[in-house]
Amino acid sequence: MHTATEERIIRPARNIIGSLRLPGDKSISHRYGLLSAFASGTSRFSNFSTGADCASTLACMEALGAQVRRLDDGRVEVRGVAGRVTPSDKPLDCGNSGSTMRMIAGLLAPQEGSFTLVGDASLSRRPMERIRKPLAEMGARITLTDGHAPLIIHGGPLKAIDCTTPVPSAQVKTCVLLAGLQTAGTTTVREAVRTRDHSELALRAFGAKLTRTVNSVSIAGPQALTGFDAAVPGDLSSAAFFLCAAALFPGSGLILDGLGLNPTRATLLDVLTSLGAHIAVLNLEDQHAELVGTVQVSAPPEGLGSTAITGALAAQLIDELPVLAAIAPYTSGGIRIRDARELRVKESDRIALVAKNLRAMGAEVEEFDDGLDVPGGQSLHGATIDSGGDHRIAMAFSVAALRAQGDTLIQGAEAAAISFPEFFDLLDQVAER
């Protein structure tokens, strides 16, 4: 259950200057953690995400028989179960993490035994029918309560399917692929909008074969996975808060090293560029098929312009939309967001909460079923912000607070630790006051 405990005061900043290296990407850490725990052999990951969500994935996999330990040099070492988990008579606690629940469901559906997946109050409100349906089509027996967790899986052999995801969702795609990995025949997942492809890249890094087209991925099962060692690239969705903050202050200069720049995740750089921010990408490298590089950002002297985020862009930017909406009042022409109905079923109803908190800071904003219109040219004042227990809301409004008149109080600030426990310390490091 969520209890709002920690409050943080964010003082306005004069500028954002500095150089940071961010903790490992949440999406990639989930996948490396999950797949290494399922693979044979031992894997070691440096810069593994420090967020509570990835700890939930590791804890669930430990309960299913994997061995996880933190090495003295900070790396996470995982010894896998070689394709066969040990059913646990206790419920597996996915905490606040939708990725954990949806991806583990696909991994467990073809395994022998019964499994119960539970989550906190927020996760227990999130839609699970989107994974139950394709898994049921494969022959899995899964029970939900009114479309939600707890999720009870009676595992057993499945049959391969060819399906189209009901909403653009990398979690749903991954869920079906992980079931397909263990199922005889070819399982194909098609999607209308290409979502983040970390699962495809990670499965290959663990030795699996899959084939891809622009809008589909197929896996012929059953296949075995083998552990490996890797460094997790810095998290671009965490970087988004710093990139947006730097984009607000003419004279700013921020360098982010070792950042994950997978093209299915890097749309934010294009959007910031279209708003007028100056962005340079240096030292691009390939690490297990994930692109990693250095990003330099500075704000345009004339301030940010305006942009619209609709259609496929909305799906690709889904985790960055709260912070983009939160800085939109400081642009000259505002930001229009549509086709982002999925924001309503994230860790909170992010459309409602962004609108509420922008209004608390004195901004004008119009809320739509699938987005927001935030006019530009506004000045905001400090206010009390309700994070709703949602990490991205707590961090987005900490960024908006940097340009406000007066101090801002973030209620439920501890939520940041879901993805980014270091957030407030790093913000203090680069914010000049």
In the complex, what is the shortest distance from the CB of residue 9 to ligand S3P, in angstroms, rounded to a whole number? 27
Q: Which is nearer to ligand S3P, 171 or 348 (CB)?
A: 171
> Which phi and psi (to 5°) does residue 309 adopt?
-120, 105
Q: Inter-axis angle of helices 98-108 and 129-137, to 10 degrees?
A: 10
Nearest to 132 by CA among 153, 163, 160: 153
Binder of ligand S3P out of 170, 176, 321, 401 (CB under 6 A): 170
Catalytic (active site) residue 53: no
d(CA 431, CA 342) in angstroms, rounded, equals 32
Q: Which residues contact 365 (CB under 8 A, 6 or more apart)?
A: 325, 354, 355, 358, 359, 372, 373, 374, 375
Give rounded-to-5 percent helix, strand, coil for the chain: 35, 30, 35
Q: Which is nearer to ligand S3P, 56 or 252 (CB)?
A: 56
DSSP letter for each residue of 374-407: E-SS---B--EEE-TT-HHHHHHHHHHHTTSBS-
Q: Which is nearer to ligand S3P, 30 or 132 (CB)?
A: 30
In the complex, what is the shortest distance from the CB of residue 346 to ligand S3P, in angstroms, rounded to a whole number? 6
Part in contact with ligand S3P (CB under 6 A); list of ranges 71-79, 169-177, 215-223, 279-287: 169-177
- Give the distance from CA 268 to its chain's centroid: 14
In the complex, what is the shortest distance from the CB of residue 429 to ligand S3P, in angstroms, rounded to a whole number? 25
Active-site residue, from 93, 319, 386, 390: 319
Helix (H, G, I), strand (E, B) or coil at 170: helix
d(CA 201, CA 174) in angstroms, rounded, equals 11
Binder of ligand S3P out of 169, 298, 306, 331 (CB under 6 A): 169
Q: Which is nearer to ligand S3P, 169 or 357 (CB)?
A: 169
Q: Which is nearer to ligand S3P, 10 or 337 (CB)?
A: 337
The CA distances from residue 96 to 52, 149, 162, 306, in Å, are 8, 12, 30, 34
In the complex, what is the shortest distance from the CB of residue 31 to ligand S3P, in angstroms, rounded to a whole number? 7
> Within 10 A of 1 (CB to CB), how many other CB atoms are there?
7
Nearest to 330 by CA among 235, 236, 405, 407: 405
> Within 10 A of 74 (CB to CB), how many other CB atoms are there?
11
In the complex, what is the shortest distance from the CB of residue 34 to ligand S3P, in angstroms, rounded to a whole number? 11
Q: Which is nearer to ligand S3P, 15 or 99 (CB)?
A: 99
**And the tokens for 11?**
């003082």
Largest CA distance in the chain: 62
Binder of ligand S3P out of 99, 183, 262, 316 (CB under 6 A): 99
Site mask for ligand S3P (CB under 6 A), range 330-349, x = bound: ------------x-------
d(CA 393, CA 395) in angstroms, rounded, equals 5
The reply on whether position 27 binds ligand S3P by CB under 6 A is yes
Q: Which is nearer to ligand S3P, 109 or 430 (CB)?
A: 109
CB 265 within 8 A of CB 285: no
In the complex, what is the shortest distance from the CB of residue 385 to ligand S3P, in angstroms, rounded to a whole number? 21
With CB under 6 A as the rule, give the number of residues binding ligand S3P: 10
Part in contact with ligand S3P (CB under 6 A); list of ranges 78-86, 134-142, 168-176, 261-269: 168-176
Kindly state the helix (H) or strand (E) to which residue 317 belongs, with its residue range: none
In the complex, what is the shortest distance from the CB of residue 321 to ligand S3P, in angstroms, rounded to a whole number? 10
d(CA 136, CA 134) in angstroms, rounded, equals 5
Omega prior to 150 cis, within 30 of 0: yes
Q: Which is nearer to ligand S3P, 200 or 319 (CB)?
A: 319
Part in contact with ligand S3P (CB under 6 A); list of ranges 32-40, 82-90, 131-139, 165-173: 165-173
What's the sign of the alpha-carbon dihedral 222, 227, 229, 233? positive
Site mask for ligand S3P (CB under 6 A), range 297-326, x = bound: ---------------------xx-------
The reply on whether position 171 binds ligand S3P by CB under 6 A is yes
Part in contact with ligand S3P (CB under 6 A); list of ranges 163-171, 215-223, 260-268, 378-386: 163-171
The reply on whether position 219 binds ligand S3P by CB under 6 A is no
The reply on whether position 56 binds ligand S3P by CB under 6 A is no
Q: Return the active site residues.
A: 319
Give residues in contact with ligand S3P (CB under 6 A): 27, 30, 99, 169-171, 196, 318-319, 342
